[in-house]
Structure 1
Amino acid sequence: MRKASMKRNQLTAFATLLLAVVSVTLVGGGCSPSKNFPELKEVSGVLIANGQPAPEVSVVFYPQGEGGASRGTTDLEGKFQLMYDRSTKGAVLGAHRVKFLEMSVDESKSRIPRKYTRTDNGLTVEVTSDGPNEFVFDLKGK
């Protein structure tokens, strides 16, 4: 009889612990703090430099108002999708300055015209709530 009572106590303790873990998980009490971002919209696009897709280029949108920058890297076809942080897609609504950073360190092989590697290059876009926020950048020059 004593063994049965001990097993029942262990089972009750295990069930209570399991219920607590499930409750915390469902309520969202994970390890990471909740994110308090401004309103974001997904942004994607294509980067072309002098008529060719521009792979391995970092595309950065700097909002002219509140919020942080969003970044993405082009694939082999020049396509990109912006991320607000490592796990959150999108960019802040409103006007943005756009800058491009080539991953290559050899400037002599740079495909991106130098003008567009600066934040003050004059290139701006508008991220809107009704979208689509798909941009094609066709950069020309040296």
Structure 2
Amino acid sequence: MKHRAIEKKIVGCLLAVVALTACSGGESLPDLATVTGTVSLDGNPLPAANVLFQPQQGKTAFAMTDENGKFELMYNQDVTGATPGNYTVKISKEKNPEEPGNELLPAKYNEKTTLTADVKADQENDFQFDLKTK
């Protein structure tokens, strides 16, 4: 009888380990820094803009601005942050989401971006992007 109880505990522990591994996707996370910011266009907050932080190597962090133009980067669908390092920043917003391909912002902010950011470990990383239409 004792053996049966021990076997049940072992099986239960093994199932818990398998479940935890499956939930984490098997991906171990690197050290991440919190990255927030604000995007404005011609002095006004820019809502519903896509923000991408692209490193030379590694994973692109992403966000969408809220109604006040504020954002917080996501490392993946479930985890906030970005790895420390230098990034090329791309910001885009479509004039009409129903018709893809009609970019509101000049190419210097997205396809031919001139924007950059340096994300630091263990520091506040709050970036302000003041974009101009002209």
User: CA contact under 8 A between 1:113 and 1:139: conserved in structure 2?
Assistant: no
Secondary structure of the corresponding residue to residue 41 of structure 1: coil
In structure 1, the partner of 2:85 is: 94
Does residue 1:67 correspond to 2:65, yes or no? no
Question: Could you tell me the percent identity over the aligned residues?
Answer: 31
- 1:114 aligned to 107, 111, 132, which one? 107
Deviation at 1:36, TM superposition (A): 2.8
Which amino acid in the other structure matches residue 113 of structure 1? P
TM-score w.r.t. structure 1 length?
0.74
Deviation at 1:23, TM superposition (A): 5.8
Which amino acid in the other structure matches residue 115 of structure 1? K
In structure 2, the partner of 1:84 is: 75
Q: Larger deviation: 120-129 or 31-40?
A: 31-40
In structure 2, the partner of 1:130 is: 122
Q: Write the distance in 2 (CA, Å) between the matches of 1:17 and 1:100.
A: 54
TM-score w.r.t. structure 2 length?
0.77
* Greater Rg over alpha carbons, structure: 1
Deviation at 1:101, TM superposition (A): 1.8
Cα deviations by residue, 1:20-41 (Å, 9 ceiling, x for unpaired): 335642x464324321343321
Task: Give the aligned length.
Answer: 127
* Contiguous gaps of at least 5 residues in structure 2: none
* Contiguous gaps of at least 5 residues in structure 1: 1-8
Q: Write the distance in 2 (CA, Å) between the matches of 1:55 and 1:135.
A: 16
Which amino acid in the other structure matches residue 102 of structure 1? K
User: CA contact under 8 A between 1:97 and 1:123: conserved in structure 2?
Assistant: yes
